[in-house]
Amino acid sequence: MAENLMDKIVSLSKRRGFIFQSSEVYGGLSNTWDYGPFGVELKNNLKTAWWKANVYQRDDILGMDAAILMHPDVWRASGHVDNFFDLKSDCKTCKKRFKTADLKNADKCPECGGELTESRPFNLMFKTYQGPVEDAGNIVYLRPETAQGMFVNFINILDARHPKLPFGLAQIGKAFRNEITPGNFTFRTREFEQMEIEYFVRPQEGDKKLEEWIETHFNWYVNLGIKKENLRKRPHGKEELAHYAKACTDIEYNFPFGWSELEGIANRTDFDLKQHARQSGKDFQYFDDAAKQRFYPYIIEPSGGVDRSVLAFLVDAYHEEKVPPRTNFEKNEAILPIGAGVKNDTRVVLKLHRDLAPTKVAVLPLLRNRPEIVELAQKIARELKKNMVAVYDDTGSIGKLYRRQDEVGTLYCVTVDVQSMEDKQVTVRERDSMQQERISVDKLKEYLLQKLNN
Ligand code: ATP
- Compute, in angstroms, the gap from residue 22 CA to the centroid of ligand 1: 20
What local confidence, expressed as pLDDT, does residue 330 receive? 37
What local confidence, expressed as pLDDT, does residue 347 receive? 87
Domain containing residue 229:
2-84+124-314
Task: For ligand 1, atom 2, name the residue with the nearest CA.
Answer: 261
Task: For ligand 1, atom 29, name the residue with the nearest CA.
Answer: 188
306 and 437 in a single domain? The answer is no
Q: What CATH number corresponds to the domain at position 164? A: 3.30.930.10
State the total domains in the chain: 3
State if residue 303 touches ligand 1 by the CB under 6 angstroms criterion: yes
Distance, CA of 80 to CA of 426 (rounded, Å): 59
Among 285, 314, 343, identify where a domain stops.
Answer: 314
304: which residues sit within 8 A by CB, 6+ positions away?
50, 194, 195, 196, 217, 251, 262, 263, 264
Nearest atom in ligand 1 to the alpha carbon of residue 306 is 20
E strand segments, 306-341: 318-322
281 and 420 in a single domain? The answer is no
Q: What CATH number corresponds to the domain at position 447? A: 3.40.50.800
105 and 215 in a single domain? The answer is no
Task: For ligand 1, atom 18, name the residue with the nearest CA.
Answer: 263
Distance, CA of 173 to CA of 192 (rounded, Å): 8
Distance, CA of 372 to CA of 368 (rounded, Å): 9
Nearest atom in ligand 1 to the alpha carbon of residue 266 is 11
Among 314, 345, 366, identify where a domain stops.
Answer: 314
Q: Say if residue 2's pLDDT is above 70.
A: no
- Compute, in angstroms, the gap from residue 305 CA to the centroid of ligand 1: 7
Distance, CA of 330 to CA of 332 (rounded, Å): 6
State if residue 143 touches ligand 1 by the CB under 6 angstroms criterion: no
- Would you call 47 helix, strand, or coil by DSSP? helix
117 and 159 in a single domain? The answer is no
Quick: pLDDT tens for 410-420. 999 999 999 99
- Compute, in angstroms, the gap from residue 303 CA to the centroid of ligand 1: 8
State if residue 308 touches ligand 1 by the CB under 6 angstroms criterion: yes
- Compute, in angstroms, the gap from residue 399 CA to the centroid of ligand 1: 41
270 and 403 in a single domain? The answer is no
Q: Say if residue 32's pLDDT is above 90.
A: yes
253 and 362 in a single domain? The answer is no
Nearest atom in ligand 1 to the alpha carbon of residue 309 is 20
State if residue 304 touches ligand 1 by the CB under 6 angstroms criterion: yes
Q: Which residue of 102, 261, 301, 306 sits with most ligand 1 atoms within 8 Å of its CB, as the best mutation to test the pocket?
A: 261
- Compute, in angstroms, the gap from residue 313 CA to the centroid of ligand 1: 17
Q: Say if residue 1's pLDDT is above 80.
A: no
State if residue 425 touches ligand 1 by the CB under 6 angstroms criterion: no
- Angle at alpha carbon of residue 304, lines to 356 and 40, rounded to 5°: 35
Quick: pLDDT tens for 89-147. 999 999 888 888 888 888 899 999 999 998 888 889 999 999 989 998 899 999 999 99
- Report in angstroms the alpha-carbon separations of 431 from 111, 353, 439: 45, 11, 16
Q: Say if residue 323's pLDDT is above 90.
A: no
103 and 6 in a single domain? The answer is no
The answer to whether the pTM exceeds 0.75 is yes
- Compute, in angstroms, the gap from residue 90 CA to the centroid of ligand 1: 23
State if residue 261 touches ligand 1 by the CB under 6 angstroms criterion: yes
Considering the chain, what is the average pLDDT of its residues? 93
- Report in angstroms the alpha-carbon separations of 377 from 294, 337, 357, 365, 414: 65, 20, 21, 6, 9
Quick: pLDDT tens for 325-347. 543 333 444 455 555 555 556 78
- Compute, in angstroms, the gap from residue 310 CA to the centroid of ligand 1: 14
State if residue 78 touches ligand 1 by the CB under 6 angstroms criterion: no
List the alpha helices (DSSP H) in 360-427.
371-385, 398-407, 418-423
Distance, CA of 416 to CA of 424 (rounded, Å): 9
387 and 268 in a single domain? The answer is no
Distance, CA of 372 to CA of 30 (rounded, Å): 49
Q: Which residue of 190, 192, 249 sits with most ligand 1 atoms within 8 Å of its CB, as the best mutation to test the pocket?
A: 192
Task: For ligand 1, atom 25, name the residue with the nearest CA.
Answer: 188
75 and 173 in a single domain? The answer is yes
- Compute, in angstroms, the gap from residue 355 CA to the centroid of ligand 1: 25
Strands 390-392 and 361-365: parallel
Task: For ligand 1, atom 6, name the residue with the nearest CA.
Answer: 264
161 and 63 in a single domain? The answer is yes
Task: For ligand 1, atom 23, name the residue with the nearest CA.
Answer: 305
How confident is residue 3, by pLDDT bands cut at 50, 70 and 90? Answer: low
410 and 281 in a single domain? The answer is no
Distance, CA of 9 to CA of 4 (rounded, Å): 9
Q: Which residue of 249, 303, 307 sits with most ligand 1 atoms within 8 Å of its CB, as the best mutation to test the pocket?
A: 303
What are the DSSP calls for 51-65, one per residue?
HIIIIIT-SSEEE--
Beta bridge partners of 361: 390, 412
Quick: pLDDT tens for 42-89. 999 999 999 999 999 999 999 999 999 999 999 999 999 988 888 889
Q: Which of residues 343 and 403 earns the better pLDDT score? A: 403
- Compute, in angstroms, the gap from residue 9 CA to the centroid of ligand 1: 21
Among 123, 148, 173, identify where a domain stops.
Answer: 123
- Report in angstroms the alpha-carbon separations of 351 from 75, 314, 406: 42, 9, 8
- Compute, in angstroms, the gap from residue 239 CA to the centroid of ligand 1: 18
33 and 109 in a single domain? The answer is no
Nearest atom in ligand 1 to the alpha carbon of residue 250 is 18
